[in-house]
Every structure is written in C-alpha cells, then in structure tokens.
Amino acid sequence: MALCVDFATIEGVLDGRGGLTIDGEVSLLDATVTGPAHFEGATLRNPGGAALTAHGLTAGSLLNLCDGFTAEGRVRLANASVASRLCFNDATLRAPGDTALSCWRVDTRELSMRWDTAPEGGVDLRHATVGILRDRPGRWPTPLDLDGLRYDVLDPPLDAAARLPWVDRGPHGFRPQPFEQLAATYQALGDGAQARTVLLAKHRRQNAGFAWYARLWGHLQDVTVGYGYRPLRAAFWLMALLVVGIAANVRMDPAPVDPGQTTKFQPVIYTMDLLLPIIDLGQERAFQPTGANQWLAYFLIVAGWLLATTIAAGLTRSLRRA
C-alpha cells in the first residue's frame, strides 16, 4: 500500500495533477472529497494488483481519471458516488486478463468513457446509475459488463444496428437487461422503430440458447411476425398463401359433399376458409378435394393455424410489453 486515505474527509480539492506518479496501491476506501478530485496525467502503478481502490468514495463534484491518466493495475470504484462527472477520456488502463475498471453500483450524473485506446482488461458497469453516458465507438472494451446498468442518455446515440454490439459484450453470455435498457432509451426519444429493432435482437439472441424444439418455434415466430415486432410480416405471409392457394384452386372442380347442394365453388372464398381458423365461410365443409388438391388443402389448414398461433403469441408479447 503506497498511499492510504481510507475513511478520510478532504475539504475542497483533491489534486493529483502535475505528473503525480505512485508505485503501489492508492486507497481511498469510503473517503469523502467535498470538491473535485483531479488525477489528470497521473500515473498509478501496481501491476497484478489494484492501482486505485476507491470503493464507496464520495466526490462532491468531479472525479477526473482522464487526459493522460494511466493505471497499471485494477481501478476499483464500486459504490462510488460522484455528484457531477466521472471522466475516463483518453485514460490508459492496463490489467490484462483481469477487470481493469470496476464501476459496480457507481452513481453519477455523467460518465464519460471516451478512451484513446480500449482498456487492457474488462470493464464492469453492473448496476451503475448514470444520467448521461458518453463513449467512443470503436474503443469499447472486451469484456464489457452492462448488466443492470441504467442511464438516461447515450452520447453519441447511434442507431440500433451500431449499438447492438455494445450491449452484447458481457463476460457471462446473454443478459436481457442491457437490451431492454437500450430499447427504453430509444423509446424515450420517441424512436419506436429503433427500440423494436433492439428488442427483436434480444429475442433472437435469447432464442439461440434454447433447446432445439424451442429454437424451432422461435425461428417460426421470427420469420412470420418478428416475435411480434414486425406484425406486417403476417400480412405478407397471409397474402402469399392466399395467392398460392387461389392459383391452385382456381383450376379445381371439386365434388360437393352433398350432391344436392346449390352452393357454387368459389376459389377465393374456399382458400380463405382453409387459411383462416375459427371463421367458417361455408366453402371448406361444402366441397371435398381429391388427390394433390386434398394435400394442398391440408397444407393451407396447417399453415393457417401456425400463422394464427404465432400472431397470437406476438400479440400477447406486445400486450405484456405495453
């Protein structure tokens, strides 16, 4: 331990600028700094251990670990509270094979992580609460654990396709919360299309971890209605099946079930009667196809039930979301 200021209260500014270099761990465990804490340009070296431990630190305004700040060893800020801004812009963090930065349950109005080079080691933002989160695409660390992280604004906002790799870099595989938080942020901006893209990606990623039969059902929901986030696909599939059925049935002259009936065969109504479950238009039970047309009728009936079931599942998911 090179410097220990645990449980201390520092009135005013904590100034570590001006080329400060410390070999060994710096500990600010549960310390309170009433003003800003500046470590711009400082170098903290403790390879293989913790360079800075500040669990429970309270900073009255800024905590600047940026603009040339270098840590060779872990930076640990779990449960820290920074009143205005926690900054890592152009900082260098090195803890290969370990967690280079732990911000578990950090609370701050602004978190700026615009690295010049991505940290060597993981970054843990689990259950942190942030107002504005600023980052630099292309400098995202791996792994990056965002499970439980909550934020109001992302800067830059980016579109969903560009942000999706950011939420899926955790060390423990798929977690739904980062996707849901990103979708909620887009929804708060009034961009429902981007929010739906994120939620669709969440279901696809989640489906990949299911058993084969559940994955099969998931793929069917994805193709037909996009898990409820692409409802117009259902109309496309319905129209496609109608066209196929009508094209086949228009040349068909099926025998009536009751030879004495007066109902005329209508290919369009007959196809709709096969495709639409529950609704009875009278044509399906009035005529009996044979041969290949009978197998086509079976196919349309099954396809209609599958389409209706996936639509119902998608609508149920949408209603739960609402």
**Mean pLDDT for the stretch of residues 43-60:** 96
Report phi then psi at 208, rounded to 5. Answer: -65, -20
Instruction: Give yes or no for a contact between 195 and 183, defined as CB atoms under 8 angstroms apart.
Output: yes
- Model pLDDT for residues 148-161, shown as the tens digit of each residue: 999 999 999 899 99
Bridge partners for 101 per DSSP:
75, 123
**Assigned token pair, 35:** 């003003």
Strands 9-10 and 58-59: unpaired
> Where does the pLDDT of residue 49 fall: very low under 50, low under 70, confident under 90, or very high at 90 and above?
very high
Answering whether pTM is above 0.75, one says: yes
Short-list 212, 137, 124, 133, CA closest to 172 = 124
Cα 278 to Cα 218, 234, 267, 272, 273, distances in angstroms: 24, 17, 19, 11, 9
Which of 40-54, 106-120, 214-228, 234-248 has the least mean pLDDT?
Answer: 214-228
**pLDDT at residue 29, rounded to an integer:** 96
Question: Which residue carries 């009034």 as its tokens?
Answer: 190
